[in-house]
Structure 1
Amino acid sequence: MGRDAHFRVWRGDAAGGDLQDYTVEVNEGEVVLDIIHRLQATQAGDLAVRWNCKAGKCGSCSAEINGRPRLLCMTRMSIFDPDETITVTPMRAFPVIRDLVTDVSFNYRKARQIPAFAPPPDLAPGEYRMQQVDVERSQEFRKCIECFLCQNVCHVVRDHEENKPAFAGPRFLIRAAELDMHPLDARTDRREFAREHQGIGLCNITKCCTEVCPEHIKITDNAIIPMKERVVDRSYDPLVWLGNKLFRRRRD
């Protein structure tokens, strides 16, 4: 049986905007994206929202619901109190285009900077062999749907615009970690790249990215912390440091 729900939806564009109030019908089993679509159909035909699959697999409908980054299509209306006002706003870390749609091109620029997978030169496609444990370890990170909720909630990106040139964000740190863990990736500079070009040192592992991941990827524990440890081992291990000094002296 249907009921009415009170929504506050951010309306505006890059020049500014504000929250507008709506009362919208809600039916059993619906998600927030259903209500946004009903709002478009009945009261706000020009409301801009990005979506595609409505199945939690495309990552398109990212927004903030009552201040928490979520997928609109995976947030059930049943989790809210019937008398609760539900506030829907665009992701705060990225520039607003219009209404709930943000410009996430920052993320695609960061993706293009990552060196691609480099298979061993002596193996042809079809000859790759991996242990199952290595498959499972990297497979977790491949579940990422690039909703960019982790990027949005990361305070290094969200609260400090000046960090964006130097910091890739959690989504791309797990990509670097995945490739560094991959037994068939022939590159040896992933750790240096994470330190010098992705700004892994700026991450202070608050785990907020893990908390909002709709695919339940353990971004911090399984990717960023191990990558940080490998970067530190490479850079600050006294034996490595001594070996580098001796090697340079011998070479000189």
Structure 2
Amino acid sequence: MSAYEAHFRVWRGDQDGGGLKDFHVEVNDGEVVLDIVHRLQATQAPDLAVRWNCKAGKCGSCSAEVNGRPRLLCMTRMSVFERSETITITPLRAFPVVRDLVTDVSFNYTKAREVPSFVPPEGLGPGEYRMWQEDVGRSQEFRKCIECFLCQDTCHVVRDFEENKESFAGPRFLMRVAELDMHPLDAAAETGLDRKSTAQEEHGLGYCNITKCCTEVCPEQIKITDNALIPLKERAADRKYDPLVWLGNKIRRRGQ
């Protein structure tokens, strides 16, 4: 296929406001949207701000919205669009704009710090951990996360309700809680930390209504909803509402 000219609309502006600007730019075989953004910088808009790093779909830096869908610019091939289609690129809607396609994603780092880290088992030192692969298989999937925050951006709890951000960690960090809760060596419970309870009471698990929009945009194909959020909800509900668990807790407290 030969080169052709595509119509792009790119959001330009900052925290004080902005709007979509039209560009016509050359597209060549095999290119991705980030290639076109770089060509725009080189030929028509040298001050266009965009965040990127690896250009290989592994750093999560070039997150933006293409035709309204959260995507990685470096993993979105131009071949998925019709030649006659207008391609609109906008910044992640859930986070404050810094300039052009760059947003302030510090909300996510704040939430990351609120999740208590792995608690090593007492008596085991570095290099002494031993686990069966079948015991770590479920949570190992979540380690593929590149922290592009597309799941955070598309989650309507964060995207549509700014006031929820204080009490809701979002799918990426609820997945982190689920990962730690599934970890065969995490000794949080021995220190009095109930990860299932904190997921519900401190990280807003109850806000999630499992629409699976986070799973749909994940570039690593992590099944965030089915393999992390739903199982975490089930364990949190068992912990809170199962009568046998309630009775066991009552007996334990009485015996202390």
TM-score between both structures, scaled by the size of structure 2: 0.96
- 1:145-181 deviation line (CA, Å, top 9, x unaligned): 0000000000000001110000000000110000000
Contact 2:66–2:88, Cα closer than 8 Å, also in 1: yes
Q: Which residue of 2 aligns with 1:130?
A: 131
Give the deviation of 1:135 after TM superposition.
2.6
Runs of 5+ consecutive residues of structure 1 not aligned to the other structure: none
Partner letter of residue 224 of structure 2?
Answer: I
Residues 1:240 and 2:245 aligned together = yes
Q: Which residue of 2 aligns with 1:212?
A: 217
Give the deviation of 1:204 after TM superposition.
0.2
Q: Which residue of 2 aligns with 1:166?
A: 167
Q: Aligned partners of 1:233 and 1:87: how far apart in 2?
A: 45
Q: Which residue of 2 aligns with 1:21?
A: 22
Where 2:89 maps in the other structure, the secondary structure is strand
Q: Aligned partners of 1:245 and 1:184: how far apart in 2?
A: 26
Partner letter of residue 241 of structure 2?
Answer: Y
What is the number of residues matched between the two proteins?
A: 251
Q: Aligned partners of 2:141 and 2:16: how far apart in 1?
A: 40
Runs of 5+ consecutive residues of structure 2 not aligned to the other structure: none
Residues 1:224 and 2:229 aligned together = yes
Q: Aligned partners of 2:167 and 2:214: how far apart in 1?
A: 18
Change (3 A) 1:250 1:130: closer
- 1:74-101 deviation line (CA, Å, top 9, x unaligned): 0000000000000000000000000000
Percent of aligned positions that are identical: 76
| Superposed CA RMSD | 1.1
Residues 1:10 and 2:11 aligned together = yes
- 1:118-145 deviation line (CA, Å, top 9, x unaligned): 1101111111111111232221100000
Change (3 A) 1:174 1:13: same
Contact 2:144–2:220, Cα closer than 8 Å, also in 1: yes
Where 1:180 maps in the other structure, the secondary structure is helix
Q: Which region of structure 1 is more displaced relative to structure 2, 237-246 or 65-74? A: 237-246
Q: Aligned partners of 1:243 and 1:190: how far apart in 2?
A: 18
Partner letter of residue 222 of structure 2?
Answer: I
Query: Stretches of 4+ moved more than 6 A in 1?
Result: none
Q: Which region of structure 1 is more displaced relative to structure 2, 194-203 or 130-139? A: 130-139
Q: Aligned partners of 2:17 and 2:183: how far apart in 1?
A: 45
Q: Describe how 1:20-169 pairs up with structure 2 within 5 A.
A: 20-169=21-170
- 1:56-112 deviation line (CA, Å, top 9, x unaligned): 000000000000000000000000000000000000000000000000000000001
Give the deviation of 1:245 after TM superposition.
3.8
Q: Aligned partners of 1:33 and 1:197: how far apart in 2?
A: 38
Q: Aligned partners of 1:250 and 1:130: how far apart in 2?
A: 32
Partner letter of residue 208 of structure 1?
Answer: C
Q: Aligned partners of 2:235 and 2:20: how far apart in 1?
A: 45
